[in-house]
Structure 1
Amino acid sequence: MVVRAYSGLMSRIRMIYDAYLTVKKYEKNPKLTILWDSESGCNIHYFDVFKEEQFTDIVLEVVEVDKEGYWEWKSIHKCILQGKFLDAFAEIKHRIYLKEMYKLYSKGCEVIKYNDCPDTTWSSDFSIYNKWKENKWKQIEQLCKEQKAIFVYCYESFIVPRDTSGISEIIKFKDEYILAADNIIGTTDMVGIHIRRTDHELCKKISTVEMFVKKMDNEIAENNSIKFFLSTDDKEVETELIRQYGAERIIVQSDKKWGRTSKEEMVSGIIDCLCLSKCKKIYGSFSSQFSGFAAEYGKIPIEIIK
């Protein structure tokens, strides 16, 4: 099986975890090839996230698709209109390179693409999307049973129904990230709060800050000594909640780097996610893979705010 890992980091992890389970179950000599993009939403290399000991019971090949590292997609048409001809040329060259890479690794494979999802995917009704996803998995499963070579072009988990029981044992983050999260959370009994803002319009619309505040107030009413670990991609939200509740109650990553366009920023996101996974429960943002993965990894309950 060959998979192309793209989109956000936690989406990728869910996908490669499912790919690992699939080859373990269906292939006589399990082999997994992961094509890993370093792009604007996930600028970090595979082995900067995971230990080399991950997936050692199968034959693993990791291909860093973009040999030059991080790439931010640009509009070729817009570059030309702005007179940025070198940027336009570089973008064309990059896209040709990616196309050739995917052509090379998909040769002889049955290709299953997840880029044709229904328009209702990003609404609050997931029923049509879930049915579409189930049908995609049936295609993959049938091809696996026939021992066919498969190229999966996907941005999140694909097994239906999902089995996350072994995810924390199979996915092996680098020790320094786990240690950093341990040092932040310690043995304190905390509730995790994940407030996704910035580019995720659906999260901002459905999981409002005011709704999180109400849940936090309810937690305080039940236990006045409760503390919250706050993970957010909006510094203004962090500042306001610390002002409202105090730095002793709102625990954050003190040296956090904001964004996803550098390795340092991505590492901060990994540590935030691991901190959430070490809380007793999570209040998460709607349609966010980040808080969902944290709950799976920590085997803790999650309530999506909506």
Structure 2
Amino acid sequence: MLIIQPSGGLCNRMRVINSARELSRRRKEKLVILWYLNPELNAAFEDLFQPIHEPDIILINIRSLKDPRKLYYQLSAGQRFGNDDILNNKTDGTLNDNFYRALKKRVYIFTWEHFYPSKDYSLFVPTDALQKRVDAFTKDFAPRCVGVHIRRTDNAVSMGKSTTEQFIAEMEQELLAHPETRFFLATDDQREEDLLRSRFPGKIISNQSRTIDRNSVAGMHDALLDLYCLAASDKIIGSYWSSFTDTAADMRGIEKVIAGE
């Protein structure tokens, strides 16, 4: 049995779960997912996605690290690994063979690192209500829409590399090549949105009533909306060192340009 406790924000967790699913398939065993509700992501899995109906996957929502179910799975595991263990035992996003072969029958992993590259996001189907919200935005994407993801308030690495001026330059190039283009903007900074709306009048689509706080179900609903709208675009202009940018592009295999690279 493989027990995984994915950590971090929405996209980090999605990538970890995809990696764990691949690892459990290789090992031909059941997968237990411990979905921890905390300030980084304070919503149950089923608040965001349809329930998982794969017979070899069990998902448990936990609200405390002292939850008896969590402690049982963690303490009964023959091996327990943290984030540094996974980081130090993978190469190019894949677990090293010697580490993989040394895994025992019952393994517990806590990580925000993905450890098997996967483009299969079929486990993550938005709830009907959230899908309707996504559809309401994406109906305006024709004939061409480019997603723009600007990460600001909690990612200093991204801010230093992907500046506002670089996003503007990429967007101007898009309009020179394709004047009909509109942009779906996903950002955690209202000032960035105000600036881009003034710079590109009539070209910006966004969830203007969004809630930024991820420590709420409403905030996580809006994060998922942004993610799936970005994934529905024709191309993404994204932020450096952002799992949100990378996941949105990977979900449908669309072209991705990182501002500042």
TM-score surpassing 0.5?
A: yes
1:174-193: per-residue Cα shift (whole Å, max 9, x none)? 23222211211215110010
**Residue number in structure 1 paired with 2:217:** 263
Instruction: Return the offset for 1:102.
Output: 5.0
Aligned-partner Cα distance in 2 for 1:117–1:34: 17
Tell me if the contact between 1:282 and 1:303 (Cα under 8 Å) persists in the aligned partners: yes
Asked if 1:212 corresponds to 2:167, the answer is: yes
Report the counterpart of residue 60 of structure 1 in structure 2: 57
- Is 1:148 equivalent to 2:105 in the alignment? yes
Are 1:51 and 2:6 an aligned pair? no
Per-residue Cα deviation, 1:50-97 (whole angstroms, up to 9, x for no partner): 211x2x233332222225xxxxxxxxxxxxxxxxxxxxxxxxxxx6x2
Distance in 1, Cα, partners of 2:3 & 2:82: 12
Between the aligned partners of 2:73 and 2:14, the Cα distance in structure 1 is: 20
Summarize the Cα distance change of 1:35–1:281 in structure 2 as closer, same or farther, 3 Å threshold. Answer: same
Question: Contact between 2:89 and 2:96, CA under 8 Å: does it hold in 1?
Answer: no
Q: For 1:157-236, list aligned pairs within 5 A.
A: 157-159=114-116, 162-164=117-119, 166-167=120-121, 169-186=122-139, 187-188=141-142, 189-236=144-191
Deviates more, 1:170-179 or 1:15-24: 170-179
Match among 188, 198, 205 for residue 251 of structure 1: 205
Match in the other structure for 2:39: 40
Matched, 1:4 2:5: yes
Q: Is 1:143–1:150's contact at 8 Å kept on the other side of the alignment? A: no
Dislocated runs of 4+, deviation >3 Å: 100-103, 115-118, 128-134, 136-140
- Counterpart in 2 of 1:104? 72
How many residue pairs get matched? 256
User: How far 1:132 sits from its partner (Å)?
Assistant: 8.5
| Deviation of 1:259 (Å) | 2.2
One-letter code aligned to 1:115: D
What is the CA–CA distance in structure 2 between the aligned matches of 1:190 and 1:46, rounded to whole Å?
A: 29
Q: Which residue number corresponds to residue 138 of structure 1?
A: 97
Distance 1:232 1:129 in 2: 33
Shift of 1:156: 3.1
Amino acid at match of 1:231: A
- Alpha-carbon displacement from aligned partner over 1:211-236 (angstroms, at most 9, x marks no partner): 00000011111122210000001111
Q: Which is greater in Rg? A: 1
Between the two proteins, what is the percent identity of the paired residues?
Answer: 24
Amino acid at match of 1:112: F
* Cα offset, 1:109, TM superposition: 2.5
Cα distance change on mapping 1:139 and 1:265 into 2, 3 Å: farther
Task: After TM superposition, give the deviation of residue 108 of structure 1 in Å.
Answer: 3.1
CA RMSD of superposed structures (Å): 2.3
CA distance in 2, matches of 1:216, 1:129: 39
User: 2:42–2:216: 8 Å Cα contact kept in structure 1?
Assistant: yes
CA contact (8 A) 2:83 2:113 kept: no
Decide whether the 8 Å contact of 1:6 with 1:154 is kept in 2. Answer: yes
User: Are the equivalent residues in 2 in contact too, given 1:219–1:226 (CA < 8 A)?
Assistant: yes
State the Cα distance separating 1:105 from its structure 2 match.
1.4
State how 1:71-110 maps to structure 2 within 5 Å.
97=66, 103-106=71-74, 107-110=76-79
Q: 3-state DSSP class of the match of 2:84?
A: coil
Contact 1:24 1:58 in 2 (8 A): no
Residue 232 of structure 2 aligns with which residue?
278
Instruction: Looking at secondary structure, tell me which structure has more helix per residue.
Output: 1
Contact 1:112/1:151 (CA < 8 Å) preserved in 2? yes
CA offset digits 1:241-296 (Å, max 9, x no partner): 112211x2011013212221110011001000000000001011111010111111
The answer to whether residue 86 in structure 2 is matched with residue 114 in structure 1 is: no
Report how far residue 117 of structure 1 moved.
7.6
8 Å contact from structure 1 (residues 203, 286) kept in 2 = yes
Partner AA of 1:104 in structure 2: Y
Normalising by structure 1, we get a TM-score of 0.77
Q: Retained in 2: the 8 A contact 1:110–1:150?
A: yes
Unaligned runs of 5+ in 1: 68-94, 119-127
